[in-house]
């Protein structure tokens, strides 16, 4: 299924049913009085978050959602039936905006979150409701209220505990496939990954967490270069980060500085997240150069966090078990929730 993280839809709640004007006509009851019933309530449109989907692809094909109107009242004080509600299922982590004003309406971050996006119109009153000592046979009823129409923009931000970030071709997809059951596309050219990928990693001791591979970050991404804001938004909900650096990089510290600068420029508290630095692709680095690379990166890391630099090879599996232990410690130290 194609990954889609922005979509626009229209929702329309149902109008309320009209009230009824009717009078009791029955043998032996010469002054029966009014008995017109109320109209039914119009159906509402609800948004429900679910973990069953991780894309807004379905909303590319169906953009309009309309609830049923309420039925009019009838004689003998019979209230019209209510219109049936419409439940629109969206992926967990979807933010709902008014497409016309850009105002945030709702943030359905967790499975089971539910929000009434368009309330159904109230039913009108029948003439029975207008009776009084001065007017015992009212001949009026009220109309049902109109439903609500809204033009919405849905923006999906993936829910992940830890995000993998790095320059294109740093080996993020390979590492994700090594740590989890996810099978993202892997190739030896930059920007192979064009969509975020999620996987569940078993950290041992009955602990697991969600890992996200965020498509390649480049210098200027915070200004929209490359994949830019299109996928940086998916880092916002993570609670921790893995800075993945190609150990074969001629300037690994400069790479880390680029990653850090882009997160700081993008804002959204990303630069403040707990993180660990991981050097990848040891299998293609000269063994004599590894200690110097580790020392250089460790000096930079020491100024920003107190976690050790790990060296691995996602291709051969070297250091993967150690990485799992470090990620478990990082996960256990993460805040319970973040504000985005």
Render each residue's pLDDT in the chain as its tens digit; 340 residues.
Answer: 455 778 999 999 999 999 999 998 878 777 778 999 999 999 999 999 998 877 788 898 899 999 999 999 999 999 999 999 999 999 888 999 999 999 999 999 888 999 999 999 999 999 999 999 889 889 999 999 999 999 999 988 776 788 888 888 788 888 888 888 756 554 443 444 456 677 788 887 767 788 888 765 555 434 444 444 455 666 777 888 999 999 888 888 998 998 888 888 876 677 788 899 999 999 888 888 888 898 999 998 887 787 889 999 999 999 999 999 999 888 888 766 555 4
As a whole number of angstroms, the longest Cα–Cα distance in the chain is 109
User: What does the DSSP assignment read for 126-152?
Assistant: PGGGG--SS-SS----PPPPP--EEEE
Please tell me the predicted confidence (pLDDT) of residue 154: 94
State the pLDDT at residue 222.
41
Looking at residue 266, its pLDDT comes to 73
**H helix or E strand, kind and range, residue 292:** helix 290-302
DSSP 8-class letter at 227:
T
Give the pLDDT of residue 221.
38
Please answer whether residues 184 and 193 qualify as being in contact, where contact means their C-beta atoms are separated by less than 8 angstroms: yes
Residues 232 and 190 sit within 8 Å (Cβ to Cβ): no
3-state SS assignment for residue 302: helix
> Could you tell me how many residues make up the chain?
340
Q: What is the pLDDT of residue 268?
A: 62
Output the six-digit token pair for 135: 């007017």
Nearest CA among 170, 180, 140, 165 for reference residue 217: 165
DSSP string over 28-61 = TBTT--B-PPPPPPPPPEEEEEETT----GGGGT
* pLDDT for res 211: 85
Q: How far is CA 256 from CA 236, 290, 313, in A?
A: 19, 17, 18
Q: What is the pLDDT of residue 187?
A: 44
Other CB atoms within a 10 A radius of the CB of residue 190 amount to 13
Domains of the chain by residue range: 6-156, 162-332
CA distances from 286 to 247, 295, 298 (A): 10, 15, 18
d(CA 340, CA 1): 27
Q: Does domain 6-156 have CATH number 3.40.50.300?
A: no
The model carries a pTM of 0.70
Compute CA 334 distance to the chain's CA centroid, rounded to the nearest angstrom: 20
d(Cα 65, Cα 45) in Å, to the nearest integer? 8
Fill in the DSSP letter of residue 102.
-
User: To the nearest 10°, the Cα dihedral for 283, 285, 291, 292?
Assistant: -160
Which CATH fold would you assign to the domain 162-332?
Rossmann fold (3.40.50)
Q: What is the spatial distance between Cα 200 and Cα 202, in angstroms, rounded to a whole number?
A: 7
| pLDDT for position 83 | 96
């Amino acid at each position: 299924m194609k990954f889609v993280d922005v979509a626009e839809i229209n929702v329309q709640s149902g109008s309320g049913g009209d009230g009824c004007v009717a009078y009791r006509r029955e043998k032996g009851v010469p002054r029966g009085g009014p008995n017109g019933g109320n109209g039914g309530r119009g159906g509402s449109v609800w948004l429900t978050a679910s973990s069953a989907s991780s894309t807004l692809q379905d909303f590319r094909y169906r953009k309009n959602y309309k609830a049923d109107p309420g039925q009019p009242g009838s004689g003998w004080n019979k209230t019209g039936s209510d219109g049936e509600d419409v439940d629109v299922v969206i992926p967990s982590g979807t933010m709902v905006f008014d497409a016309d004003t850009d105002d945030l309406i709702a943030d359905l971050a967790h499975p089971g979150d539910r929000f009434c996006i368009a309330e159904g119109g109230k039913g009108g009153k029948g003439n029975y409701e207008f009776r009084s000592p001065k007017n015992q046979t009212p001949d009026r009823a009220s109309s049902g209220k109109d439903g609500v129409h809204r033009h919405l923009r849905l923006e999906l931000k993936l829910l992940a505990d830890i995000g993998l970030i790095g320059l294109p071709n740093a080996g993020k997809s390979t590492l994700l496939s090594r740590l989890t059951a996810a099978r993202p596309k892997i190739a030896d050219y930059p920007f192979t990954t064009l969509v975020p990928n999620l996987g569940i990693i078993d950290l041992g001791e009955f602990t697991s967490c969600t890992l996200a591979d965020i498509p390649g970050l480049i210098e200027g991404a915070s200004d929209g270069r490359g994949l830019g804001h299109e996928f940086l938004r998916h880092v916002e909900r993570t609670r921790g980060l893995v800075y993945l650096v190609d150990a074969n990089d001629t300037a690994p510290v400069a790479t880390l500085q680029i990653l850090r600068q882009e997160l700081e420029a993008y804002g959204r508290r990303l630069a403040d997240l707990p993180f660990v630095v991981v050097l990848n692709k040891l299998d293609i680095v000269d063994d004599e150069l590894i200690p110097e690379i580790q020392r250089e990166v460790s000096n930079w890391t020491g100024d920003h966090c107190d976690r050790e630099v790990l060296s691995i090879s996602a291709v051969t599996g070297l250091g993967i078990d150690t990485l799992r232990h470090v990620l478990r410690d990082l996960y256990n130290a993460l805040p319970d929730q973040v504000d985005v």
